[in-house]
Chain A
Amino acid sequence: MKKFLKKANPSLIIGAAIILLVAVTAIVAFFWTPYAPNVMDNAHSYLKPGDDPAHLLGTDQFGRDILSRIMEGSKTVLIIGFISVICGAFAGTLLGSIAGVVKGPIGSIIMRAMEGFIAFPSALLAIMLVAVVGKGETGAIIAISIYTIAPFARLTNTMILENENLPAIKAAKSFGVDSKRLLTHYYLPMMLPRLLTQFSASVGSAIMTEAALSFLGLGVQPPNASWGLMLSNAKQYALLYPYLAFAPGIAIIVTVLGFHLLSDGLGDLLIKRRS
């Protein structure tokens, strides 16, 4: 542990600290928020931060407590971010591995399809996927998972092609190790550092995509709380109540920054050590 801390770089520590903070907020939000996040209280609408010590970050047009909604939003963000990237990363790694090990027509069909997905501008692909699977939280999760598959498949495939000529792999093949074991016991440990780095970066961009989709009205639906949705709400009242835009915006920036920093930090820590 001491050794690990010595090696840890500032990016890794700051990134991990931010994510820990968001995770703790989300866990707390499961059991307790200062107010019920979706309950309206029209007597206390449009309180600016600091107007009322009982509403630390103020209230929105329905008098809903913004701090509670930010906390509730952190739950949404982490659930959607992690579930979709775990599914997408798993499917992508699997497809990339199959294409790398099996090769032949199946391999090249898989990789051509992945290249096709990568060719779409990312915002367009996310919106198209939502059009197919439907609006809402589940729609967003499925859309972001599918959207995450291609980068993972390409990364895995490239790494397998890079490593297949290593003596260890050749030796294993000559001993007759089957493809399944080759993947899980030989390739996977080699690929893990870069996969983890990519995973962290992907969660960051998944959170960004979820926020963007919710902002456009295609992701999380009202009255549920999501940072993107809160911003789209803030847009309508921006003229008179600009403070509505601050908290959710800062929450998104800090969280995404956390995942990017963690990804950079992991990259420095794990990938450099190997080379």
Chain B
Amino acid sequence: MLNYCIKRIYSAVIVVIVVSIITFLMLSMVSGNAAILALGTDATPEQLAALEHEMGLDLPWYLQYFNWVKGLVRLDFGSSMLYGTDVLTLIIQRLPVTLSLALFSMLMSLTVSFILGTISAVRKGGIVDIICRSIMQLGTTIPGFWLSIIFIIYIALRSPVFPISGFVSPSESFEGYLASIFLPSLVLAIAETGSMLRAVRTSMLQSLNQDYIIMAKVQGLPRWKIYIKYGLRGALAAPLNVAGLKFARLLGGTTIVESVFSLPGLGRLVLVAVEQRDIFLLQGTAMFITASVVLISLAVDIITALMNPRMRLEGEQS
């Protein structure tokens, strides 16, 4: 087990380092020098040189990278030219929105997937199974931005409950918070449900093939008890792992929904950074999101391994 954890942590650290190099190199190639962008085109060459020196832009790239990483380690993500504050503050302000979206959409998707996935595995070839298989196929092809527009037209505009746009903080009004987050989460949940369903269905089919299920059937236990108590319990680990990994990736996948519903989350921050060419903001936010994705995935994998001895062994073999 310890071996597995160490191996997993080691590769996660390597990935984070590689990600930091990619983020830094990619965004330092962005056309236009940060100092020019900050001062405008009217600045004199002397002013430019002075600011470049102050920002450390006249150093060779590896020293710039080194300084940047030194900052990251001390949780200093740089400061935004556009907002004039440090990037971490901006991220923390916007994190609750994105976290809520990721959390709620995953909860919705998990609930639906477990109910439909279980029925579809138990009654293989039945109506629910056919519906599930079409959801698996269609779910990933429906673009989130289109679904958002459709939801706004046909749900938000016609019902007084759901706002068309904007975020209500839970401290203001909890109902308002839920209403403001519901439709965007639903859009994200629909996109995720295809693969979640597949995970539940496959896992449940495997679980129902186990000897102890057949044994339980032979002993004449009630069907629902067999499926829920024994079948589902054996089928929990893999889909929950998938859900955790999906949750992590959603932290960087909410841009479109946030943009359509005008929610002030991390995705919008990235978009603003790109549109306004605020390189430090983009670098900081991208690094924060991707490092969180890698670290949450690491945590999810280790927790699943701790919970399930069978999975732990599989992890060691590979």
Contact = CB atoms under 8 A, between A and B. Distances in A.
Q: Do A and B come from the same complex?
A: yes
Interface of A: 112-113, 115-117, 119-124, 127-132, 134, 204, 208, 211-212, 215-218, 228, 231-232, 234-235, 238-239, 242, 245, 248-249, 252-253, 256-257, 260-261
Main secondary structure of the interface of A (DSSP, over half): helix
17 contacts: A116-B15, A116-B19, A116-B21, A119-B293, A121-B250, A121-B252, A123-B252, A124-B270, A131-B30, A132-B30, A204-B141, A212-B144, A235-B149, A239-B157, A245-B153, A252-B143, A257-B141
B20 to A, nearest CB: 9
Given A121-B290, A132-B30, A215 B145 contact: yes
B260 A119 contact: no
Which of B21, B29, B154, B290 has the largest number of chain A CB atoms within 10 A?
B290
Contact of A116 (B22, B274, B286, B289): B22
Contact of B270 (A127, A245, A248, A257): A127
B251 interface: yes
A119 B143 contact: no
Given A115-B15, A245-B153, A260 B270 contact: no
A20 to B, nearest CB: 18
A215 B255 CA distance: 11
Contacts, number: 133
A260 B149 contact: no
A121 B249 CA distance: 5
B31 A116 contact: no
A235 B143 contact: no
Nearest to A146: B26
A124 to B, nearest CB: 4
Contact of A120 (B19, B138, B145, B250): B19
A19 to B, nearest CB: 13
Main secondary structure of the interface of B (DSSP, over half): helix
A115 B14 CA distance: 9
B143 A211 contact: yes
Contacts of A116: 15, 18-19, 21-22
Contacts of B31: 134
Contact of A130 (B140, B253, B274): B274
Contact of A131 (B142, B146, B282, B289): B282
Contacts of A122: 253
Given A216-B255, A216-B259, 16 more contacts: A120-B22, A123-B255, A128-B23, A128-B26, A128-B270, A131-B27, A131-B277, A132-B27, A204-B141, A211-B145, A212-B143, A235-B149, A235-B152, A245-B149, A252-B143, A260-B137
Contacts of A211: 143, 145
Nearest to B259: A216
A231 B145 contact: yes
B268 to A, nearest CB: 10
Nearest to B152: A238
Interface of B: 14-15, 18-19, 21-23, 26-27, 29-31, 137-138, 140-146, 149-150, 152-154, 157, 249-253, 255-256, 259-260, 267, 270-271, 273-275, 277, 282, 286, 289-290, 293-294
B256 A216 contact: yes
A115 B10 CA distance: 14
B294 A121 contact: no
B31 to A, nearest CB: 7
A173 to B, nearest CB: 26
Nearest to A245: B149
Contacts of B282: 128, 131
Contact of B18 (A115, A134, A218, A234): A115
Nearest to A115: B15
A131 B27 CA distance: 8
Nearest to B289: A124
B141 A117 contact: no
Contacts of B290: 119-121, 124
Given A116-B19, A239-B157, A261 B137 contact: yes
Q: Closest 7 A-B residue pairs measured CB to CB?
A: A121-B252, A116-B18, A249-B146, A124-B252, A256-B141, A131-B274, A257-B141
Contacts of B146: 231, 245, 248-249, 252-253
A121 B271 contact: no
A212 B27 contact: no
Contacts of A257: 137-138, 141
Which of A120, A122, A234, A248 has the largest number of chain B CB atoms within 10 A?
A120
Nearest to B153: A242
Nearest to B28: A132
B298 to A, nearest CB: 11
Contact of B274 (A127, A252, A253, A260): A127
B289 A121 contact: yes
